[in-house]
């Protein structure tokens, strides 16, 4: 028998007896029964406690009163757990009475033993209804092999209920190892990869996992570039500029971008673009002008929304790629929902509707998030119409939502980026600082593996990258010559970032490597 007080590990934190016990459990679950038996024999440790073994014997032998006595004799069980465990035993006992045709005993157990248990009326009623159903269908009789199988299933459920050390949680060793791996990934500030993590060494990523170096400069725009956004499949990049044009760029297999379509139909500078979730369509918005819908494959304009009296400030798609929602900086216009043919589906407008500065629809389609009156974030559940408001102390210039629909970030003219949870449970935001923003609209984005990073432009011509867990910049990227207005992280190529600047260029950033910059 192993010494029950022996400790393992450099810090002596691991109880040897517990460690061996969960190894034996793991061997059993992996199917290595002989190895588990050998370890039990050599160590004198069983993965099942004495109480668990005794309970198993009594249940399998249908000694119900003894089973109940064992459960009542276990200390430190909560009343709820004890009642649930007794219910499982009595349920099996009742079922076997029915199988033998002993309806009277089954009814007595139900009335005098099960009903007093504090397990909830619904549970007791369901058991009674099940009894009646079995009798009506003539299915009370169960063969011996099925009875044994039902007893084993009841044991499995009992083991899930009873706390350690009486029973071990299922897959305990796997859970501990996964927890350790997750902790290492969470503490790795550069983690940005799908690659498998080995148990043979501690996990660590270097800065070559994130985009830190210019790999291509796009120069087709003839004026300030205000907006960039990668498509959801990561195969395209759209950009818009003060030169009144938008461009669709194709991302080749080797990571190089080439011009696919030049979209020239707006009379004013194009302030932003928005990809449909299926990436077949693109919305472009002229500054103080109409909204246009483009076919990505052909580069042709499919529809023009609104009129020159409707000043669109922002727009977003719903996940079905059939509905769009647009906000206006004109308080009288409010927010409109259209289909792709321009038919109005719904509108939120009126005298009390403040002007909309920016908006987004969460990727799951559940929430419409709007920036109202410069300092308010309004989150509307589209299905329930429930709404909650987050108030900021400084003016908000832009909004972005994470791919998992759980978080949003806003840029403030106080030179801070704030991250909030969409569910509205946080009392305070996570804050990110270091970039420069006083006068202009600067846009940030989530990016990387599991949206681990936040990137933002800046008025000092630099691009900033933060790990979400740290308020200070992880990397500061130089290269642009003027204000960086917008950034976009490729959702499929986690090491590709695009930035748009007043210097008329778009820079594509990749991991650090021998310098070979392409200009297009």
Q: Which strand (E) or helix (H) includes residue 149?
A: helix 144-161
Q: Which of 328-342, 396-410, 493-507 has the lowest mean pLDDT?
A: 328-342
pLDDT for 136:
55
Among 386, 393, 381, 326, residue whose Cα is nearest residue 355:
326
What is the β-pairing status of strands 291-295 and 301-305? antiparallel
DSSP, collapsed to helix, strand or coil, labels residue 243 as coil
pLDDT at 212 over 70: yes
pLDDT for 481:
97
**How far is C-alpha 155 from the chain's CA centre?**
35
pLDDT for 307:
64
Q: What are phi and psi of 33, to 5 degrees?
A: -65, -45
pLDDT for 372:
85
- Tens of pLDDT along 157-169? 999 999 999 999 9
More confident residue, 330 or 370: 370
The structure's pTM equals 0.80
Region 344-350 average pLDDT: 79
pLDDT for 139:
47
Region 365-374 average pLDDT: 91
Among 444, 493, 446, residue whose Cα is nearest residue 227:
444
Mean pLDDT score of the chain, rounded to an integer?
90
Please, are residues 449 and 492 in contact by the beta-carbon 8 Å criterion? Answer: no
What's the maximum distance between 2 C-alpha atoms anywhere in the chain? 90
Among 80, 6, 92, 83, residue whose Cα is nearest residue 45:
6
% of the chain at pLDDT higher than 70: 94
pLDDT for 75:
87
Q: Which strand (E) or helix (H) includes residue 391?
A: strand 387-391
**Which domains, from first to last, does the chain contain?**
1-73 (no CATH), 210-510 (2.130.10.10)
Region 177-201 average pLDDT: 88
pLDDT for 71:
93
∠ Cα 330 335 336 (to 5°)? 120
Q: How many CB atoms lie within 10 A of CB 150?
A: 16
- Tens of pLDDT along 67-116? 999 999 998 889 999 999 999 999 999 888 888 888 889 889 989 999 99
Among 33, 40, 52, 29, residue whose Cα is nearest residue 170:
29
pLDDT at 248 over 70: yes
pLDDT for 515:
54
Quote the CA–CA distance of 369 and 381 in Å, as a whole number: 9
Region 492-505 average pLDDT: 97
Quote the CA–CA distance of 361 and 400 in Å, as a whole number: 10
- DSSP conformational letter for 404: T
pLDDT for 311:
74
- Tens of pLDDT along 43-55? 999 989 999 999 9
pLDDT at 312 over 90: no
């Amino acid at each position: 028998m192993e010494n029950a007080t022996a400790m393992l590990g450099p810090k002596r934190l691991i109880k040897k007896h517990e460690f061996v016990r969960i190894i034996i459990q793991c061997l059993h679950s992996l199917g290595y029964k002989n190895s588990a038996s050998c370890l039990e024999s050599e160590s004198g440790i069983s993965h099942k406690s004495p109480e668990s073994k005794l309970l198993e014997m009594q249940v399998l032998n249908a000694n119900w009163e003894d089973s109940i006595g064992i459960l009542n004799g276990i200390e430190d069980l909560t009343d709820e757990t004890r009642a649930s465990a007794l219910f499982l035993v009595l349920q099996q006992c009742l079922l076997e009475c029915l199988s033998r045709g002993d309806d009277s005993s089954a009814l007595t157990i139900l009335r005098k033993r099960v009903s007093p248990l504090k397990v909830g009326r619904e549970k007791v009623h369901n058991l009674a209804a099940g009894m009646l159903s079995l009798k009506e269908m003539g299915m009370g009789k169960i063969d011996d092999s099925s009875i044994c199988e039902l007893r084993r299933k009841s044991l499995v459920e009992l083991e899930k209920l009873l706390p350690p050390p009486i029973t071990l949680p299922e897959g305990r060793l796997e859970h501990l190892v996964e927890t350790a791996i997750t902790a290492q990934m969470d503490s790795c500030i550069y983690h940005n990869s799908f690659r498998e993590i080995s148990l043979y060494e501690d996990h660590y990523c270097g800065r070559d996992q994130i985009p830190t170096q210019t790999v291509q400069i796009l120069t087709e725009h003839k004026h300030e570039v205000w907006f960039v956004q990668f498509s959801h499949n990561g195969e395209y990049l759209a950009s818009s500029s003060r030169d009144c044009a938008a461009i669709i760029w194709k991302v080749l297999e080797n990571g190089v971008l080439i011009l696919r379509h030049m979209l020239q139909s707006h009379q004013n500078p194009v302030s932003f673009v928005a990809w449909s979730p299926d990436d077949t369509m693109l919305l472009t918005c002229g500054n103080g002008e109409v909204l246009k819908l483009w076919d990505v494959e052909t580069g042709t304009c499919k529809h023009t929304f609104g009129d020159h009296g409707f000043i669109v400030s922002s727009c977003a798609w719903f996940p079905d790629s059939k509905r769009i929602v647009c906000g206006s900086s004109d308080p009288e216009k409010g927010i409109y929902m259209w289909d792709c043919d321009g038919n109005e589906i719904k509108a939120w407008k009126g005298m009390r509707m403040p002007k909309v500065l920016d908006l987004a629809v969460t990727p799951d389609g559940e929430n419409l998030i709007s920036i109202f009156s410069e300092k308010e974030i309004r989150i509307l559940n589209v299905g329930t119409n429930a709404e909650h408001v987050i108030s900021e102390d400084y003016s908000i210039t832009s909004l972005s939502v994470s791919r998992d629909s759980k978080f949003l970030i806003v840029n403030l003219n106080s030179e801070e980026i704030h991250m909030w949870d969409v569910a509205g449970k946080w009392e305070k935001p996570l804050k990110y600082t270091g970039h420069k923003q006083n006068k202009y609209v600067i846009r940030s984005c989530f990016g990387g593996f599991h949206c681990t990073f936040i990137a933002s432009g800046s008025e000092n011509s630099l691009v900033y990258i933060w790990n979400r867990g740290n308020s200070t910049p992880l990397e500061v990227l130089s290269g642009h010559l003027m204000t960086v207005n917008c950034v976009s992280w490729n959702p499929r190529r986690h090491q590709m970032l695009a930035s748009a600047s007043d210097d008329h260029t778009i820079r594509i950033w990749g991991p650090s490597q021998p310098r070979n910059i392409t200009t297009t």
